[in-house]
Amino acid sequence: MRLRLPDDSHVDARIKGKKLKPVCGDRVVAERIPGEDDWLITAIVDRANELTRPNMRGQVEVLAANIDLLIVVAAIEPTPDWFVVDRYLSAAENMPTAAAVVLNKIDLDPDARAETTLSEYAAVGYPTLAASAVSGAGIAEVANLIAARTAIVVGQSGVGKSSLINTLLDTEARATAEISTKRDEGRHTTVNSVMLDLPGGGAVIDSPGVRDYAPALESADAVGRGFREIEAARGDCRFANCRHTREPGCAVKAAVTAGTICERRYESYKRLLNLTSRLGSR
Ligand code: GDP
Ligand code: ZN
């Protein structure tokens, strides 16, 4: 395991005992092992959030921790599935972490037709950007958006996540990343995420698992919290436990009718709620 010290230098570290399971992004308490170059991790600082997925044995596996920004990537090609984007954003709201939507491969769509959907996300307060890992358009804006934060990049396969990350990195940072990935092999067979420092500040946590991350199904309450405009309107619903589907006096449905809540996002909410209820109540 690689450890970044407060002076930004990197050292190898071992883990004290069998119970501690630090993941990429963790902040830890560590001490130098007397007479050695290695450090010893003795404690993990409480996590602000975790990116998790169920593993083969049905246990929850933590892929990364302390994420400041979840960047959902959609692209001109493959045709965006905006429901998938809404699911990622719902997961971000529940982690919780800040989120943004990046539309990649803008070089393939000079007319920028998909940007009309982007504006629906901007309307509810998500930073949105159009970019191209190929032409370089919007890449500086993505770097500015990340700023000093630690980000992860998620989205459907083929949208250009790896390409975007590579474009954000300089060659020097990439070389460092390859070294730390190699060192992790064998010790962490399932989770080997790496922290990639960006040349202008901030970092991206990356691994195949992070890139392929698909949110687990949430409880009905979590689905409600996952749509910030619905969460903001629900206080005016007649019933405190309103699901905003068939209930009378529903402020959310009224807002959809009035056009202040985007109908497409509301449909995503109902679709996700439906998937959840098929699981049975939790
Ligand atoms: P990932 O599965 O999300 O990591 O996607 P990749 O980074 O592997 O990219 C998938 C394909 O899209 C590759 O063939 C890339 O060369 C291509 N690609 C990535 N970004 C862009 C872009 O901005 N414009 C165009 N035209 N192609 C891109
Ligand atoms: Zn309601």
Give per-residue pLDDT as tens, 172-188.
455 555 545 444 443 43
Beta-bridge partner residues of 151: 69, 204
Q: Is 5 in the pocket of ligand 1 (CB under 6 A)?
A: no
Confidence of residue 192 (pLDDT cuts 50, 70, 90): confident
168 sits in which H/E element:
helix 161-168
Measure CA of the first residue to CA of the last residue in the chain; give whole Å: 37
- Return the closest-CA partner of residue 43 out of 20, 66, 11, 13: 20
Pocket probe for ligand 1: among 102, 152, 163, the residue whose CB has the most ligand atoms within 8 Å is: 163
- pLDDT reported for residue 206: 94
Answer with the residue of higher pLDDT: 175 or 255: 255
For residue 64, the CA-to-ligand 1 centroid distance in Å is 24
For residue 61, the CA-to-ligand 2 centroid distance in Å is 34
- pLDDT reported for residue 58: 80
pTM of the model: 0.91
Q: Which residues contact 59 (CB under 8 A, 6 or more apart)?
A: none
- Return the closest-CA partner of residue 76 out of 158, 188, 137, 173: 158
Q: Please, are residues 49 and 66 in contact by the beta-carbon 8 Å criterion?
A: yes
Q: Please, are residues 119 and 112 in contact by the beta-carbon 8 Å criterion?
A: no
Q: Is the pLDDT of residue 12 over 90?
A: yes
Q: Is the pLDDT of residue 88 over 60?
A: yes
Answer with the residue of higher pLDDT: 177 or 221: 221
Q: Which two tokens stand for residue 163?
A: 């390409």
Q: Out of 61-75, 95-109, 265-279, which region has the weakest mean confidence (pLDDT)? A: 265-279
For residue 162, the CA-to-ligand 2 centroid distance in Å is 40
Confidence of residue 279 (pLDDT cuts 50, 70, 90): low
43 sits in which H/E element:
strand 39-44
Q: Is 125 in the pocket of ligand 1 (CB under 6 A)?
A: no
Q: What percent of the chain has pLDDT over 90?
A: 74
The owner of tokens 């309103």 is 242
Tell which atom from ligand 1 comes closest to the C-alpha of 163.
7
Rounded to an integer, what distance in angstroms lies between the CA atom of residue 141 and that of residue 167?
12
Confidence of residue 280 (pLDDT cuts 50, 70, 90): low
Q: Which two tokens stand for residue 274?
A: 């439906």
Q: Is 91 in the pocket of ligand 1 (CB under 6 A)?
A: no
Q: Which long-range contacts (CB under 8 A, 24 or more apart) does 42-48 make?
A: 42/16, 44/20
Q: Reply yes or no: is the peptide bond before residue 22 cis, omega within 30 of 0.
A: no
Rounded to an integer, what distance in angstroms lies between the CA atom of residue 85 and that of residue 92?
11
Express each pLDDT in 119-146 by its tens digit: 999 999 999 999 999 999 999 999 999 9
Q: Reply yes or no: is the peptide bond before residue 96 cis, omega within 30 of 0.
A: yes
